[in-house]
Structure 1
Amino acid sequence: MAIPKHDELRIPSLNLLLDGRTMKLKDFIEPLSKEFALTEEEINEMYPSGNGHIFYDRISWALSYLNMAGLLDKPARGNYKINSKGIELLKIPGKINTYVDVEVAKRDKNKRTNKNPEIKIIETDDRLTPQEKLYTSFNNIRNSIYDEILTTILSKTPTAFEKLVVLLLQKMGYGGEIKNSGLVTQRSNDGGIDGIIKEDILGFGRINIQAKRYRLDIAIGREEIQKFVGALAVAQSNKGVFITTSYFSRGAIEYVENLFGNTTVVLIDGKDLASYIYDYGLGMQIEQTIEIKKMDTDFWDSMSDEL
């Protein structure tokens, strides 16, 4: 039997969770392979590049779509549990795939002004060229990892988040070659400053950091940014970075845009945070490298054409 597509794995995956247990992604492999009567060869079949098992990857995408549609919860990173909506929809399994596709599409179109910029999964279109489909697939994989990064951060402590953002700014080049350039302040007496990056050896230049590990649907308002600017004034600093896992309200953004004087505040929302972590490779591993080549026209044009 052919390896099932990810949409064919959605309903069987939900059924495995119907007893209320929590399962890791790898726990789905054996029962699903039995359900689809897959051979060992099919279970272990790799992508042509040699990076990644096809069946495992399709299970991962099936679970990801079910989670995005609100039928599965992720109590911890890599763990899945069916929720009340998933249980209810399993009573009419014929509607599940349509429901998932509609909910994911609605999620993509939800671009309200005061919301964290959406991390979008885009459906491929048969009218796209092979190259366009490749780029779309790449962006979908990247955006699904953004979701995973933010979910993982929310499972960590506030102190761990503060250490993470200091490490990230150092990874981005702030602090340069200065030894111990990054510092997480003591929570009991931080004065509204969660971390500091030293820009020079003596510490005359400093970037002060505020880190808020908020749920993705909770906005950072103008008042919190004003408090941070006040904390910068007390610390006699004119540079600040406010980083959150959620998003900034329109009022907060406008306040920063209209700051007077020498004070500069940079806002980094959840999507930007995830993209920086991804791009600078903080806690990331390269899973696969795909090399696409095109013909060198100069080389071929230098050859004599047949008359």
Structure 2
Amino acid sequence: MNLPKYNEIMPYALAYFAENGAQKWRHAEVPLAKAMNVSDEDALLEYASGNGKVFPDRITWALSALAASNLLERPKRGVYQITELGRSFLSRPQDVHPYVKEKAEQRRLEKLRERSETLPELVNDSTDTTPSEALESAYQEILSERYDQILDTILSKTPRDFEHLVAKLLSKMGYGGQVENAVTVTKSSHDGGIDGVIKEDVLGFGRIYIQAKRYARDNSISREDIQRFVGALAVAQSNKGVFITTSRFTEHAKRYAQELNGSTNLVLIDGIQLAKYIYDYSLGMQTARVVEIKELDSDFWDDMENDGD
């Protein structure tokens, strides 16, 4: 197999979108293969696991990395176009991958600071990384990319669509149980600060109220926003609410929610947690590939006598 690595595809991808404008990524596959002298035979090669073709997969990773570094942008789902920053790299293709790599490291560190979670290091060629560690690291990197794609896609839809998406997610998560049409979206013109309602029982005695805010990812939900929602819950004579956003909550907002001390049961779900739920509950997702790794069954093999015993 003589295929370019995904980082080698990046400069050619920038050149393609600079010349052709906004395009669906699938339209770039054949021109990129031609530009990089990839034969028809090599372009059709599939992974040994049977999980799809190698070359298109590398193209998608190259485009995602370029978009994450703001060299490309997605005006709508599946479509890419070059940015002004991307155009500045056309005359120095050798600098594209180092720049993308630097930006990826900055994002990794920012996520560590924002979420206070230790994410595995990116896969590299270090000799102190075991194959299992490299596999786990690659898996976490793919998850992070998928979460970004989910949020980018949500932000390309309307706020009303987001409210319906949240209702579908909560239903898929099991809220409302067996109650028919348990999760409903309120009318936008008279919602009173409530975007949706979950009926917990058939007669509707128990209700959970929903606030859904489709904000840009660098925005934040303030304490005042949470207070207004708590006020709306009081008007609705309920002490159960869930506030879901594509952005994040300020520390003051999170502290306020925690200090309600049971007078109001309020759950806050930020953008990253929302993306995780959508991924984990397979809402609008499909399985792209399955990798099965087996290990020896010790009980099976230990029942046999060792040679020389």
**TM-score class normalised by the smaller sequence:** over 0.9
Q: Does 1:163 align with 2:164?
A: yes
Q: CA deviation at 1:149?
A: 0.6
1:142-181 paired onto structure 2 within 5 Å: 142-181=143-182
1:17-96 paired onto structure 2 within 5 Å: 17-19=17-19, 21-96=21-96
Counterpart-to-counterpart distance in 2, 1:123 and 1:270: 22
Q: Any gaps of 5 or more consecutive residues in structure 1?
A: none
Count residues with an aligned counterpart.
Answer: 306
1:259 maps to 260
Q: CA deviation at 1:91?
A: 2.4
- The letter of the residue matching 1:124 is V
Q: CA deviation at 1:112?
A: 8.0
Counterpart-to-counterpart distance in 2, 1:20 and 1:40: 22
1:78-227 paired onto structure 2 within 5 Å: 78-111=78-111, 122-125=121-124, 126=126, 127-227=128-228
Percent of aligned pairs with the same amino acid: 49
Q: 1:244 to 1:119 in 2, by over 3 A?
A: farther
1:280 maps to 281
Counterpart-to-counterpart distance in 2, 1:165 and 1:130: 38
Counterpart-to-counterpart distance in 1, 2:244 and 2:257: 13
2:7 maps to 7
Q: CA deviation at 1:94?
A: 2.0
Query: Which secondary structure state, in structure 2, belongs to the residue aligned with residue 240 of structure 1?
Result: strand
Q: Deviations over 1:71-98 (max 9, x none)?
A: 1111111111111111112222222211
Q: CA deviation at 1:111?
A: 4.3
Contact 2:112 2:119 in 1 (8 A): no
Counterpart-to-counterpart distance in 1, 2:286 and 2:110: 31
TM-score normalized by structure 2? 0.95
Q: Deviations over 1:109-166 (max 9, x none)?
A: 11486x5789979521322111111111111112111111111111111111001101
Contact 1:116 1:216 in 2 (8 A): no
The alignment yields a C-alpha RMSD, in angstroms, of 1.8
Q: CA deviation at 1:20?
A: 6.1
Larger mean Cα displacement after TM superposition, 244-253 or 94-103: 94-103
Q: Deviations over 1:47-74 (max 9, x none)?
A: 1111111000000011111111111111
Counterpart-to-counterpart distance in 2, 1:118 and 1:8: 31
Query: Which secondary structure state, in structure 1, belongs to the residue aligned with residue 241 of structure 2?
Result: strand
- Give the 4+ runs in structure 1 shifted more than 4 A: 115-122
- The letter of the residue matching 2:129 is L
Contact 2:112 2:118 in 1 (8 A): no
Counterpart-to-counterpart distance in 1, 2:117 and 2:80: 22
Q: CA deviation at 1:262?
A: 2.4
Q: CA deviation at 1:179?
A: 0.7
- The letter of the residue matching 2:19 is D
Counterpart-to-counterpart distance in 1, 2:116 and 2:185: 28
Query: Which secondary structure state, in structure 1, belongs to the residue aligned with residue 38 of structure 2?
Result: coil
Q: 1:241 to 1:282 in 2, by over 3 A?
A: same
2:307 maps to 306
Q: 1:53 to 1:111 in 2, by over 3 A?
A: closer
TM-score normalized by structure 1? 0.95
Q: 1:213 to 1:117 in 2, by over 3 A?
A: farther
Counterpart-to-counterpart distance in 2, 1:137 and 1:32: 25
Query: Which secondary structure state, in structure 2, belongs to the residue aligned with residue 30 of structure 1?
Result: helix
Q: Deviations over 1:175-221 (max 9, x none)?
A: 01111101100011111000011000011101100000000000111
